[in-house]
Structure 1
Amino acid sequence: MKRVSVVTINFNQDKITEELLVSIAQTNTYDNLEVIVVDNGSTVNPIPLWTDKYPDVKFIRSENNLGFSGGNNIGIAQATGDYYFLVNNDTEFSPGLVQKLVDILDTHPQVGIISPKLVYDFNRSIIQYVGFTQIDYYTCRNQAVGKNEKDTGQYDNLLGQTGYCHGGAMMVKKETCEKAGLMADNFFIYYEEVDWGERINKAGYQAWVRGDAVIYHKESMTVGKNSPFKEYFMNRNRILFIRHNAPAFKAFVFYIYFMLMVVPRNVIKYIKEKRYNFISVLFRAIWWNITHRKTSTKLGYTINKVS
């Protein structure tokens, strides 16, 4: 039986993380499982209290917030599993989840990474994800399959290749990480899983999704919706993804599209919504890409609290 390491990240969301740990304990029937929680520089270190409360969980403390990519990479470095199951702390497991994903990785050597179906926790009849289309390099856009559809079982038999796995829940083989590398730390958050997916594809592996494996997602518990933090990294990393992955001509077309279409549209939207501070956030995201190498680890944003 392959060993599975569940890795999740906590950042000032102790209650949410504990709800995940409880859901794993209550639903998991997979025997060879370790659970790793990386505390990503929370204001108050919760690990001393958690160590006694959850003796079977491995806790790792980072004094600095390293983001989704950096935090997961720390967890993977100390994981002992053959498979790494990276899950957001704002998720809850369903019965049989781990076994269903393991079954595919065990029997399909071409599959390097797999995601379950994600449904929204606030309404467990609404789907968030059952796959992604490939990103169009000209626009850096793609689609989430099934998003906001009512779940009537229409994807229960879905099993196969998808464009990318979902960062909220993805199980990856250790050998995949050894060949493709880990997530690029300089994304920090957003686009890191699709950038990773590009490298996994190029390493010769496929990304799959299984529709009858389910995880419940309390989306945006950590960064909030429409925050300056999110707006900065969504725009910065959209450009950075293209710099990492797109051929020169497609990248050139994207830059024109972004400056002539995306920027004016976003600025108009910010004004209509009276989010005037977002205008400077957008231009900071662009300026970072002009002034920094694509491998730069400087974030261009002060990471102290989520705003």
Structure 2
Amino acid sequence: MSKVAVVILNWNGSEMLRTFLPSVISYSAISGVDVYVADNASTDNSVSVLTKEFPSVKQIILDQNYGFADGYNKALAQVEAEYFVLLNSDVEVTEHWLEPMITYLDAHLEVAACQPKILSWRNKDSFEYAGACGGYIDRYGYPFCRGRIMDVVEKDNGQYDDILPVFWATGASLFIRSSDYREAGGLDGRFFAHMEEIDLCWRLRSRGRELVCIPQSVVYHVGGATLKKENPRKTFLNFRNNLLMLYKNLPQNELRYVMFVRGMLDYLASLSFLLKGEADNAAAVLQARKEYCALKEEFKLSRKNNLNKNSLQVIPEQIKNSILVLYYLRGKRSFSQLDKFLPNK
């Protein structure tokens, strides 16, 4: 069994492999580390590119496109390592990116997973939207990051270079103990893509396991390489999966109130899209709510199992306020302005 398995899930991304895989190979060439590419039934020339141009990379060939969530579940079932690194195919890593995370997890057995500092590949002095320096969540399920509040992305001036507990670590570069991944049941394949890593981290955190960001490790992420931010399919998956995640993980005394408020906020979001001329995104929000209602029965057992295994009723990294209120009504535009709302700060 290797120490670390870096696993990149690929779907029709041969050009991204050519662009980003060389840095992964070069900077992961340390003892005990294996690099894998798991191909999600690509129809381009990804497999031939891997075979001819990157012979040192181990291949896992999946028989169909299982999406991000179950694609990783299927791939990691074929890998034996102490630590898994789930790495997006559009990530450029840097020298010594693995060592700080290995060292920290080796020394902190209470920590299940961590992530590096995620900077934008296009604007390398700024944080990247989807991960930044670690993820948090508000009472109503809206995620935000240390370095990104709503659509405001901060420049990296070293202001978040301390190691800090987080609510969730991004799936763009998720470093996780294989034992924790498997004990928690992995990513929820029913999500297909989007929110699955936050759901997994919520399960881990509720069970008393910790998650941190290790800013001494740095990677650069393109982001939005599979589905662009304004894509209605992405809007649908984000809203539907967020609702399913809330249903699966919210404590019983929070469920009714939070889901009632979320219903109102979702209808406001749909109206906002419509007023901006984005009718497809407006419809996607409504379709997401409709499918959530249809799927809720299927998730009842998952909710019961999660609540039975929980040891933390209050998670310090979840703010009890609304990030929408803090952003739009109180003018909080940076993570550092949220100090008093985060008990662990």
The TM-score, its normalising length taken from structure 1, stands at 0.89
After TM superposition, the structure 1 = structure 2 runs for residues 109-128 of structure 1, keeping only pairs within 5 Å, are 109-128=109-128
**Which residue, out of 181, 206, 209, partners 2:210?**
206
CA deviation after TM superposition for structure 1 residue 208, in Å:
1.0
After TM superposition, the structure 1 = structure 2 runs for residues 93-108 of structure 1, keeping only pairs within 5 Å, are 93-108=93-108
After TM superposition, the structure 1 = structure 2 runs for residues 126-145 of structure 1, keeping only pairs within 5 Å, are 126-128=126-128, 129-133=132-136, 135-137=137-139, 139-145=140-146
Show the counterpart of 1:217.
Answer: 221
Identical residues among aligned pairs (%): 25
After TM superposition, the structure 1 = structure 2 runs for residues 73-92 of structure 1, keeping only pairs within 5 Å, are 73-92=73-92
After TM superposition, the structure 1 = structure 2 runs for residues 121-270 of structure 1, keeping only pairs within 5 Å, are 121-128=121-128, 129-133=132-136, 135-137=137-139, 139-147=140-148, 148-156=153-161, 158-263=162-267, 265-270=268-273
Question: How many residues are matched?
Answer: 292
SS in 2 for 1:114: strand
- Contact 2:184-2:204 at 8 Å conserved across structures: yes
SS in 2 for 1:84: strand
SS in 1 for 2:98: helix
**Which residue, out of 287, 294, 306, partners 2:290?**
287
Structure 1 window deviating more from structure 2 (45-54 vs 65-74): it is: 45-54
Q: Equivalents in 2 of 1:10, 1:56: separation in Å?
A: 16
CA deviation after TM superposition for structure 1 residue 44, in Å:
2.5
Q: Equivalents in 1 of 2:48, 2:29: separation in Å?
A: 28
Q: Equivalents in 2 of 1:189, 1:178: separation in Å?
A: 19
Q: Equivalents in 1 of 2:229, 2:89: separation in Å?
A: 17
Question: For residue 138 of structure 2, what is the amino acid of its counterpart?
Answer: D
Structure 1 residues 155, 136: CA separation in 2 closer, same or farther (over 3 Å shift)?
Answer: closer
Question: For residue 279 of structure 1, what is the amino acid of its counterpart?
Answer: A
SS in 2 for 1:3: strand
SS in 2 for 1:143: strand
Render the CA deviation track for 1:243-289: whole Å, top value 9, x for unaligned. Answer: 110123422122221222321x2232222332222233222211111
- Contact 1:6-1:85 at 8 Å conserved across structures: yes
Show the counterpart of 2:275.
Answer: 272
Show the counterpart of 1:33.
Answer: 33
Show the counterpart of 1:300.
Answer: none
- Contact 2:40-2:71 at 8 Å conserved across structures: yes
Structure 1 window deviating more from structure 2 (139-148 vs 228-237): it is: 139-148
- List runs of 5+ in structure 1 lacking aligned partners: 297-307
CA deviation after TM superposition for structure 1 residue 213, in Å:
0.8
The Cα RMSD (Å) is: 1.9
Structure 1 residues 294, 152: CA separation in 2 closer, same or farther (over 3 Å shift)?
Answer: farther
CA deviation after TM superposition for structure 1 residue 13, in Å:
1.9
Q: Equivalents in 1 of 2:87, 2:98: separation in Å?
A: 11
Structure 1 window deviating more from structure 2 (146-155 vs 159-168): it is: 146-155
Question: For residue 120 of structure 1, what is the amino acid of its counterpart?
Answer: S
The TM-score, its normalising length taken from structure 2, stands at 0.79
- List runs of 5+ in structure 2 lacking aligned partners: 300-345
Show the counterpart of 1:301.
Answer: none
Structure 1 residues 267, 160: CA separation in 2 closer, same or farther (over 3 Å shift)?
Answer: closer
Question: For residue 111 of structure 1, what is the amino acid of its counterpart?
Answer: V
CA deviation after TM superposition for structure 1 residue 79, in Å:
1.4
Question: For residue 136 of structure 1, what is the amino acid of its counterpart?
Answer: D
SS in 2 for 1:219: coil
CA deviation after TM superposition for structure 1 residue 29, in Å:
4.3
Question: For residue 120 of structure 2, what is the amino acid of its counterpart?
Answer: Y
Structure 1 residues 239, 95: CA separation in 2 closer, same or farther (over 3 Å shift)?
Answer: same
- Contact 1:30-1:99 at 8 Å conserved across structures: no
Q: Equivalents in 2 of 1:294, 1:242: separation in Å?
A: 14
Question: For residue 122 of structure 2, what is the amino acid of its counterpart?
Answer: F
- Contact 1:29-1:96 at 8 Å conserved across structures: no
Moved over 4 A (4+): none
